Amino acid sequence: MTPADLYQGCSVSAYRLETLQHYDVTGDERYRAFHAGQPLPSPGPGKVEDLRLIKRLTGAGRKVGRIHVIDQPLTDYLRYELAVYAENAAAGEDVRITERTADPDLLGLRRDFAVFDAETKCGTAIVFDYSAAGRVLSYRANDHQGVVQRFRELYDLALTHSVPLAEFITAGLAT
């Protein structure tokens, strides 16, 4: 199963934890426009499909959330990502931000993962592997329930110290 399959088929929840301060955006015209101070072009087909999926899942009562563990000062990439996360939030995703320094236990969160349906006996966790430049190299799925619960605990740890995207931006922490 791919991450896309798991998002499509989740029955209760889909949660993503992001920890990198930069992801590969080679060729992304929206990224270039953002940093040139220009209006963002319309999202590409992949992003449009992601937003439709979020709307469909949340409209069907599923919980969809994402937390980004950030370091200050923000990278150029993170300033961009915080701006485009607003699209995800508008689609119904619970987008939250936490600063790595908010709790010593957050210092160890250095791997991106997603956890699906951890509340059920059919949960799955996915760990993402990235290059130093932030390009996805691979992902590893694991449906062992002990592993799934451990990743859900890590997500909940970050959740405890996070704030909603809008609150983070309103507080002026996104500059």
Q: How do residues 73-97 score in pLDDT, each as one tens digit?
A: 999 999 999 999 999 999 999 999 9
**Number of domains composing the chain:** 1
Structural domain containing residue 32: 3-170
In a domain, 13, yes or no: yes
Question: Whole-angstrom Cα distance, residue 173 to residue 175?
Answer: 6
Residue 22 maps to a domain: yes
pLDDT per position as a tens digit, 139-149: 999 999 999 99
pLDDT of res. 94: 98
Q: What is the mean pLDDT of the chain?
A: 95
Mean pLDDT across the stretch 51-77?
Answer: 97
Q: What distances in angstroms separate CA 110 from CA 60, 78, 136, one per listed residue?
A: 32, 16, 15
Instruction: With a cut of 80, say whether residue 175 has pLDDT above it.
Output: no
The structure tokens listed for 109 are 């969160």
Is residue 44 one of the residues assigned to a domain? yes
Q: Is residue 112 part of a domain?
A: yes
175: in domain: no
User: CA 46 to CA 31: how far, in whole Å?
Assistant: 15
Instruction: Kindly report, residue by residue over 146-169, the tens digit of the pLDDT.
Output: 999 999 999 999 999 999 999 999
Please check the confidence at residue 37 and state whether its pLDDT lies above 70.
yes
Which CATH number belongs to the domain containing residue 44 in this structure?
3.30.870.10
What global pTM score does this model have?
0.95
Residue 80 located in a structural domain: yes
- pLDDT over 70 at 174, yes or no: no
pLDDT > 90: what percent of the chain?
Answer: 90
